[in-house]
Structure 1
Amino acid sequence: MHTSLPGAPASVRPLRRLTVALGWLLATLMTVAACTSAAPERPAATPALPDGGDLLRTSAQAMAAVKSVGFTIETEGKPPVPVQHAEGSLTKEADAQGTIRMNVFGTLQEMEFVLIGDKVHFKGPTGGYQTMTREQLAALYDPSAILNPDKGVSHLLSTAGTPKTEAEEDVDGIPAYRVAAQLSQPVVAALIPGVDQAVNAKLWVDTATSRLLKASLPLGDGPTAGTVTVLFTDYDKPIKITAPAS
């Protein structure tokens, strides 16, 4: 004997069971969808920064191959170095030209210079060019040391200690890796006369070419504290350096 729901025609009962089943299915799907949409999205993984030691070794090799470069040296504060400002261009052959402002025996002097071979042509704000030897200039400041393979930037990078990549950021619109490193006193002093301490430097290495774009060198302490910043531009740009007219 079949038992039926009272008041429900036999033709309606299968439809009712189907409706109930569909309702349960719809409710289940809605619950799953709600849980899925509520699940937080995982943020994209940040690419790991390159190893600082690898970056500086590669940069040292890239700098050793440079044929010419433009440079600017600026100081902020009162770092204990005679050079206050310098800018110019130089070649792999150690010829250079530019301007320099430095403290000489307590007096701020500014001069233009042209360095060709063993002779330096220089002049102050007034008067004509005079000459001195390369050795005499080197006692004050030798810009040609920048590309010198034995004591220049390439040597500085290859001897840097405890390098650590800190960030990727632009230098004048050029993507670069910022690397913290310790530089020894003799190596820095060969490029910036007057440095008498090891330097905890920040170095910016071009992500595309591995060349050094910028160096920040904090120096001194107390009233004689400051920062020397060196910028490098115009890599391998053709440069013609000629002696000025007498």
Structure 2
Amino acid sequence: MQLRRAVVSLLAVVLLAGCSGGGDSGTSATDLLAKAKKTLDAAESAHFVLTSDGAPSTGTLLVGGTGDIERPASFQGTLKVQTSGTTADLEVVSVGGTVYAQLPFLPTYSVIDPAQFGFGDPGALLDPDTGISQLLAKAENAKNGDEKRVDGEVVQEVTADLPGQLVADLLTSQDPSQTVKASFLIATDSGELRRAELTGPFFTAEDDGTYTLELSEFGADVSITAPPTG
């Protein structure tokens, strides 16, 4: 009887260990990414904060920003652009594929080509075909990491590899042929993507840099219109 109990107990421990997945919710990494993409594609708006690490002191680079994205193709916020070691805050509005910025020392907005400032069209960030959710859809080698809490909310980490060209089209890259490492934090209850940390050749082809994108306020009441230009 004691031997039987010991075998049953050992079996229970093995089964529980197999289900725990190192602390994850039991949902596969692929399913979590799919749920996060579906949730993001259904959001009418979101607030984002972008930070970076590893930018050199030369060149024109996007190093950070904050703002609101509204579906289908609008953005309003402040993007931090570094030029020759000096960081400037650009007030940026994007509506329907046209990007406007209030450049330093100018009183009104001008239509700009965002590529000249080191970034793509921020209005496209919620586009299901080319925006943030494509990072989730085209992630490769996805694996569950640790389960964590962010501001009291349970999130599951998913690590993955991303095609370099995909990230280059969304943000930037000095070598799109290189794979980008990604770490996603996904709220297990809501499926909302809370954070995406990307590591790759963003600033130079030889050295890795990091972009961290944080999302919140899904579905908030946001209304973005094109600004008057001078």
Measured against the shorter chain, the TM-score band is 0.7 to 0.9
Decide which of 195, 215, 222 is 1:214's aligned counterpart.
Answer: 195
Is residue 70–residue 223 contact of structure 2 (8 Å, CA) maintained in 1?
no
The residue identity in structure 1 corresponding to 2:141 is T
Normalization by structure 1: what TM-score?
A: 0.72
Structure 2 residue 212 is the aligned partner of structure 1 residue 235: no
- Matched position secondary structure for 2:158: strand
Equivalent residues in 2 for 1:1-246 (5 A)? Answer: 45=16, 48=20, 49=24, 50-78=27-55, 82-104=61-83, 108-132=87-111, 136-137=113-114, 140-141=118-119, 142-194=121-173, 196=175, 197-220=178-201, 224-244=207-227
Q: Quick check: 167-176 or 50-59, which moved more? A: 167-176
CA deviation digits over 1:111-156, x for unaligned, max 9? 10122234433213432123215xx235642112211111112222
Is residue 103–residue 109 contact of structure 2 (8 Å, CA) maintained in 1?
no
Q: Cα 1:175–1:158, aligned 2, differ >3 Å: closer, same or farther?
A: same
1-structure distance, mates of 2:227, 2:66:
18
Q: Cα 1:81–1:54, aligned 2, differ >3 Å: closer, same or farther?
A: farther
For residue 207 of structure 1, report the CA deviation from its aligned partner.
0.8
- Matched position secondary structure for 1:144: helix
1-structure distance, mates of 2:72, 2:190:
22
CA deviation digits over 1:172-197, x for unaligned, max 9? 33211000111111111122122522
Is residue 196–residue 212 contact of structure 2 (8 Å, CA) maintained in 1?
yes
Q: Cα 1:54–1:241, aligned 2, differ >3 Å: closer, same or farther?
A: same
The residue identity in structure 2 corresponding to 1:177 is Q
1-structure distance, mates of 2:55, 2:75:
27
The residue identity in structure 1 corresponding to 2:69 is L
1-structure distance, mates of 2:115, 2:217:
24
Task: Report how many residues are paired.
Answer: 203
1:29 aligns with none
For residue 224 of structure 1, report the CA deviation from its aligned partner.
3.7
Question: What is the alpha-carbon root mean square deviation over aligned residues?
Answer: 2.8
For residue 100 of structure 1, report the CA deviation from its aligned partner.
0.8
2-structure distance, mates of 1:130, 1:153:
26
Residue identity over aligned pairs, in percent, reads 29
The residue identity in structure 2 corresponding to 1:215 is A
The residue identity in structure 1 corresponding to 2:190 is T
Which has more radius of gyration?
Answer: 1
Q: Cα 1:57–1:117, aligned 2, differ >3 Å: closer, same or farther?
A: closer
The residue identity in structure 2 corresponding to 1:120 is V
2-structure distance, mates of 1:206, 1:58:
10
Unaligned runs of 5+ in 1: 1-41
1-structure distance, mates of 2:142, 2:61:
28
Is residue 96–residue 123 contact of structure 2 (8 Å, CA) maintained in 1?
no
- Matched position secondary structure for 1:235: coil
Unaligned runs of 5+ in 2: 1-11
1-structure distance, mates of 2:63, 2:97:
25
